[in-house]
Amino acid sequence: MVHGEYWTIKELFVYPNEYIYWSVQIVMYPFMTGLVAGAFVLSSLYHVFGIKQLKEMARFALVFSFALLFVAPMPIVLHLQYPLRGINVFMTPHFTSAIAAFGIVFSTYGAIVASELWFLYRKHFVEIALPLKEKQDKGLLEWLKFFVFCSLTLGVYDISEETLKKDEKAIRVLAAVGIPVACFLHGYAGFIFGSVKANALWMTPLMPVIFIMSAIVSGIALCMLTYIITMELRKWLSDRKKGTYPRLQSKEEIAGVEVSVIRMTARYLLMFLVLAITLELLDLIFRGYTAVKSWDVLRSVIYGKDFVDIFILQYTIGNLVPFILFLLPGLTIRRTVLGVCLVLFGVFMMRWNVVIGGQAFSLSFAGYMHYHLPIIPHDWETFKEGLGGALLIGLMPFPLFWVISRIFPVFNLKETH
């Protein structure tokens, strides 16, 4: 069977070679990159602009962004017909293509996040490595731990007051440089779509900006969600272990910090949400007002075939409802969880409506294509470009975050910055 034929249903006049070639993994790609960029911007709000209330969240967001970073290119790998040739993009980049910049942008961004993390956790590495170095009879696990942390110090054991101040400065610079690079990383994902002149729905210079705004929204939302989950776990643990470890923070202490951090972050979420919706509506109004040749078919898709996806699922459930939830006074944790889940869903639907919606009509402007997500896979292709593949990508950051947080602990760290 031809690639794409399995999940595409054609209606009216569609060219014979047209199928929905970019399926759910291409929806996941901007969604995941958006989360990376958003989480980083959130952490930079503290490091660069010194928004003190976000301090607790900043370190968390940075580590989470690092975990997400490894997942971001995975959807592309699952989507490629020749995943092993993906390296060609780095080896023989063809620079007139937006995708060719991926190698450069992605590695620059990765380097920035990694170095910022290193400066942030340098003291922590030294504090673990030094005592292990002196210890005489190390067990196997201790050897391993020693090896990992000793390598991570990169041979620098100086943690005097003066050097730590320098570290702090380096973090600030890296975070500041990181903001435009993070925006570029995601803006360029928007550019990949916005620059396709053949596609009437995608082609708009607003696309990169819309992508950046919704990226920050989704990144903040996911950080809030993961933060709440970890805090709740800590509360639960502190309840259980109270007897054995009296130095742990009490349940009430944790809850107090949690609510104040969440309320503060929610304000930034709202701000970016408003920006994102404004731009998206501007795009829609502009298309309707100028009504160029493609508008007839676009209108029938936007107001007809995809009405539920766009106006009910994305704008109402994904944007309007959480907007009201966050605006109502006395924000509680439970309400926040509901709100951020809806926001994440809304951003996902926005990506869906761009990627799948952009292929819902034929290049002939006289026919339509309907996408049916493969749910039960019957071969590798229907798995990786179906529900299974999408879920795999969606869940991957969480175990990764757990692994990474073994090395970069996000809580109960002795105060460094």
Partner 1 sequence: MINRRDFLKNAVKGAAGMALPLAAFEIVNPKKLFADKSEASKVRWVFLVDTYKCVGCGMCVKACKNENEIPYDANVTRTWVERYVMTKDGKTFADTPKGARDGFITSKIDLGLGKFQDIKKENIEKAFFVPKLCNQCENPPCVQVCPVGATYQMPDGVVMVDRSWCIGCGYCIMGCPYGVRFFHPIYHTAEKCNFCYHRITKGMKPACVEACPFGARQIGNIKDPNDPVTKIIRTERVGILKEEFGTKPQVYYLGLDREVK
| CB of 78 or CB of 221, closer to partner 1 | 78
Question: Other CB atoms closer than 10 Å to residue 295's CB: what's the count?
Answer: 16
Which long-range contacts (C-beta less than 8 Å, at least 24 apart) are formed by 387-396? 387/24, 389/24, 389/25, 389/78, 390/24, 390/25, 390/27, 390/28, 393/25, 393/28, 393/32, 393/71, 393/74, 393/75, 393/78, 394/28, 396/71, 396/74
DSSP character for 362?
-
| One character per residue 180-199, x = contact with partner 1 (rule: CB under 8 A) | ------------x--xxxxx
The Cα 310–Cα 315 span in angstroms is 6
| One character per residue 307-326, x = contact with partner 1 (rule: CB under 8 A) | --------------------
Residues 344-373 that bind partner 1 (CB under 8 A): 362-367
Question: Does residue 10 belong to the site contacting partner 1 (CB under 8 A)?
Answer: yes
Query: Could you tell me which stretch among 74-82, 160-168, 303-311, 394-402 binds partner 1 (CB under 8 A)?
Result: 74-82
Question: Does residue 156 belong to the site contacting partner 1 (CB under 8 A)?
Answer: no
> What does the block give as tokens for 402?
């757990």
Question: Does residue 290 belong to the site contacting partner 1 (CB under 8 A)?
Answer: no
- Grouping H, G, I as helix, E, B as strand and the rest as coil, residue 102 is helix
Question: Does residue 408 belong to the site contacting partner 1 (CB under 8 A)?
Answer: no
Question: Does residue 92 belong to the site contacting partner 1 (CB under 8 A)?
Answer: yes
Question: Does residue 166 belong to the site contacting partner 1 (CB under 8 A)?
Answer: no
Site size toward partner 1 (CB under 8 A) is: 49
| CB of 202 or CB of 401, closer to partner 1 | 202
| CB of 192 or CB of 224, closer to partner 1 | 192
The Cα 303–Cα 311 span in angstroms is 8
Query: Could you tell me which stretch among 7-15, 32-40, 221-229, 244-252 binds partner 1 (CB under 8 A)?
Result: 7-15
| CB of 21 or CB of 398, closer to partner 1 | 21
Question: Does residue 1 belong to the site contacting partner 1 (CB under 8 A)?
Answer: yes
> What does the block give as tokens for 405?
């947080």
Binding residue (CB under 8 A) for partner 1 from 52, 85, 169, 378: 85
Question: Does residue 98 belong to the site contacting partner 1 (CB under 8 A)?
Answer: yes
Residue reference for tokens 């109004």 = 285
Which residues touch 34 (CB under 8 Å, ≥6 apart)? 186, 189, 211, 214, 215, 216, 218, 219, 347, 351
Residue type, 176: A
> What does the block give as tokens for 11?
């209606």
The Cα 374–Cα 384 span in angstroms is 9
Q: Which residues bind partner 1 (CB under 8 A)?
A: 1-5, 9-19, 21-22, 76, 79-82, 85-86, 88-89, 92-94, 96-100, 102, 192, 195-199, 293, 362-367
